[in-house]
Amino acid sequence: MMKLKIIDKYLIKQFISTLFFALISFTLIFVILDMMENLDDFIDESVNSNIVLQYYIVFIPEIIRLILPISILLATLFTSGKMANLNELTAFKAGGISLYRFMLPFLIVTFFISLINIYFSGYIVPHANKHKVFIEQTYMKKGLVHFGSNIFFQDTKTRIVTINFYDISLGQANQVSIQDFDSFDKTKIVSRTDCERMIYDTTKHSWIALNGSTRIFNDSTEYLENFSTKEFNNLHFSPDDVIKKQRKPEELTLTELDEFIKEQIRTGNISTKLEIAYHSRIAYAFSSIIVVLFGLPISANKRKSGLALQFGINMLVTFLYLFFMKISQAFGENGILPPIITAWTANFIFLIAAVVNIKYAMK
């Protein structure tokens, strides 16, 4: 039993050290390629070297999230492939250690990495992405938004604001709806204001609604007020805040994304893409386990083809997995599959394929 523990420690040490090397190597390659692509933007906008350094520091978490499955694949192949070439796997088999037992340390480590990756990609990466987008817009003049459409956000705990179109140059919101809900029963609407336009008064720090109506709902009655001009001094957002409300899903943490989805559903808007993004972030974190289940059985068998062909086969499987994930997302966004099924379909299909591959490798 003690011997197996020593073997486990040996395998885990080899696997983790190779994984760190792969992560560092791929990250450096990714940064160099991106730097070459953005070099003109840095020069044209005279971006300070400290800002450039800061940009790539906050970009690294997103890079790690993207390359982690490939890095784990490389670590798996090199660790088991090296052992196969040195006949260490033959010694393991002679000692009665099966392929299942050999895979166990890799799977346990990868499982914990996947759990950590859920938090990493769900909370750390979005915060880094926010700062990266800020640098791009402020210093590199990239991704600047000149207008916004279909903006929905929660102004207070009981108020939802919907803006169909917002023109930044004019500072004007068009086709606006403001819905207030009961503080005790969030499903009960107490008032709703709809207007054609809304502009911001910078002197009074209030919004002016133009050509609209306000409906106030009581238990059994409804009061309607039409207006040409109406001032709202109790709204808690400014023109700058409106565009910030349009953050992309990759800039939202899992908690913020979940709250945004609930807000969209509550206001009667389609949230399918957001739900797919939410579930896909979790599903992608577990793709590393699929990679290990595919890679280990192939690389654990000593073949004349060598490590290069084994790596090529596993890379092909990995890209097929990513391609299938994109295809399933397209089906989900068109409403053919539920969001959670869309996000996990690729994982389940390739998990079954991996199990079949293990059975084949055992023969």
Q: List, for residues 251-305, the tens digit of each pLDDT value.
A: 889 998 888 788 677 656 678 888 999 999 999 999 999 989 888 887 766 554 5
On the question of pLDDT at 150 being above 80, the answer is: no
Residue located via tokens 């803006």? 163
On the question of pLDDT at 319 being above 90, the answer is: no
Beta strand residue intervals within the chain, DSSP E: 147-156, 159-167, 172-181, 189-201, 206-217, 222-232
| Percentage of residues in the chain having pLDDT higher than 90 | 39
Q: Residue 270: inside a domain, yes or no?
A: no
Q: Extract the tokens encoding 89.
A: 């796997």
| pLDDT band, residue 1 (cuts 50/70/90) | very low
Most confident of 40-44, 83-87, 241-245: 40-44
Q: Residue 179: inside a domain, yes or no?
A: yes
Whether the Cβ atoms of residue 186 and residue 215 lie closer than 8 Å to each other: no
Quick one: 35 and 136 in the same domain?
yes
End-of-domain residue from the set 193, 228, 245? 245
Quick one: 215 and 192 in the same domain?
yes
Cβ-Cβ contacts under 8 Å for 112 (sequence gap 6 or more) = none
| pLDDT band, residue 363 (cuts 50/70/90) | low
d(CA 70, CA 59): 18
Quick one: 136 and 155 in the same domain?
no
The 10 Å Cβ neighbour count of residue 149 is 11
Quick one: 133 and 187 in the same domain?
no
Closest by CA position to 156, among listed 190, 122, 195: 190
Distance of CA 282 to the CA centre of its chain: 8
d(CA 318, CA 70): 8
Quick one: 11 and 132 in the same domain?
yes
Quick one: average pLDDT of 14-39?
93
Give the residue numbers spanning the domain of 75. 2-140+276-362
pTM: 0.75
d(CA 81, CA 99): 14
